[in-house]
Amino acid sequence: MKKIIFLFCFFLGIASLNAQETYTIKGETLLLKTEVDGQLDLLWNIIDGHYRYFVRTTDNTITELVNTRGENRHYQEEYKTTLQNLTDVNADNVNLTLTDLKSFIDEYNLSQDPTYSSSIYNAKLQLLLGVFGGITNSPFINNPNNTKSPQFGAELELLDGNRIKRHALFMQLRHVFETDDFKYSTTELALGYRFRVINARSFSLYGQSKFATLNFLKNTVPGANDVPVDINETVVDIPLTFGIGADIRLTDSSYLTINYNELFAALVENNGNFSTNITLGYKFNL
């Protein structure tokens, strides 16, 4: 095990070194990382406990971005003048941080070269609200007669509409109603994850998992001498139940949803009945 850890750290160190290069700047030899590569490059590293930033022009001239203090102890902000002279772009609102410098130089490079590939990714979060209804035999609850119960619920689904459209997180609230034959009901709050195997504009097919649930359940079970016993419990669980589902686009912002849930679980036991947890729903973009 120690050898594996050593080799992992060794190769991690090699990878880190490969991402850096050695430069000689004003007689000082520095190991720097390239953060932005374009018309104007951004180089940086933490040297002797201090962040140091440099810009490199197309003629390989490297200039340090500095922010020294004057006699009155006020920062001189020389780096803003340097950036403005190199780009002809106002740099008054740029802070001497990796995030701000990267954003400023990235925007400048994009303005100079339409084919420039931006190094900054801006997520486009998409939120959908859905409602659904259906039936379930509560396969992970003792249900001797395999009774089907009605269920109804709502959910919020969050995904990134830019790059990771196949992945989504959802929060779901549902209620399973008791019946005359099966005195079990629950109100469940669940967190889950979806992966879209097929992700076409008009149709998507996905697998999903609920990885955390909070249930407020009521159940009536036979007690001693067949006297019914009422149970009221609050149960927190990590069931890792799995199911499949599909979204069928109705309009540009709304979908018909079909789900077959609780097909199996990794961390809870089935009580002998194959799942008939099936729902039909509708969801739309917020």
pLDDT by 10-residue block (mean), the chain, 286 residues = 44 48 90 91 93 94 92 88 94 92 91 81 81 96 93 94 78 96 94 93 94 93 73 92 96 94 92 94 94
Query: Dihedrals φ, ψ of 70, to 5°?
Result: -85, -170
- Among 81, 112, 143, give the residue marking a domain's end: 112
pLDDT of residue 220: 82
* CB contact at 8 A, 210 and 240: yes
pLDDT of residue 233: 92
Structure tokens belonging to residue 126: 């998409």
How far is 126 from 204, CA to CA, in rounded Å? Answer: 16
Report how many domains make up the chain: 2
pLDDT of residue 231: 85
25: exposed, middle or buried (C-beta count within 10 Å: 0-12, 13-18, 19+)?
middle
Query: Dihedrals φ, ψ of 106, to 5°?
Result: -65, -45
Q: Are residues 187 and 86 in the same domain?
A: no
Q: Are residues 280 and 233 in the same domain?
A: yes
- Among 84, 112, 140, give the residue marking a domain's end: 112
pLDDT of residue 16: 42
pLDDT of residue 234: 95
Which residues are paired to 261 by β-bridges?
277
pLDDT of residue 4: 42
End-to-end CA distance of the chain: give it in Å, rounded. 50
- Among 83, 112, 141, give the residue marking a domain's end: 112
Whether residue 119 lies inside any domain: the answer is no
Q: Are residues 245 and 217 in the same domain?
A: yes
Whether residue 147 lies inside any domain: the answer is yes
Whether residue 117 lies inside any domain: the answer is no
Whether residue 94 lies inside any domain: the answer is yes
3-state secondary structure of 197: strand
Whether residue 136 lies inside any domain: the answer is yes
Q: Are residues 69 and 207 in the same domain?
A: no
Q: Are residues 135 and 277 in the same domain?
A: yes
pLDDT of residue 166: 86
Q: Are residues 209 and 177 in the same domain?
A: yes
* CB contact at 8 A, 15 and 1: no
pLDDT of residue 224: 66
pLDDT of residue 121: 64
pLDDT of residue 33: 92
60: left (phi over 0), alpha (psi -120 to 50) or beta: left
Q: Are residues 87 and 158 in the same domain?
A: no
* CB contact at 8 A, 160 and 167: yes
Whether residue 4 lies inside any domain: the answer is no
Q: Are residues 167 and 212 in the same domain?
A: yes
Whether residue 13 lies inside any domain: the answer is no
Question: Diameter of the chain by CA atoms?
Answer: 93
126: exposed, middle or buried (C-beta count within 10 Å: 0-12, 13-18, 19+)?
middle
Q: Which domain holds residue 141?
A: 125-285
Q: What is the dihedral of CA 184, 190, 196, 200, to 10 degrees?
A: 80
Whether residue 232 lies inside any domain: the answer is yes
Alpha helices in 70-207 (DSSP H): 78-87, 98-112
3-state secondary structure of 135: strand
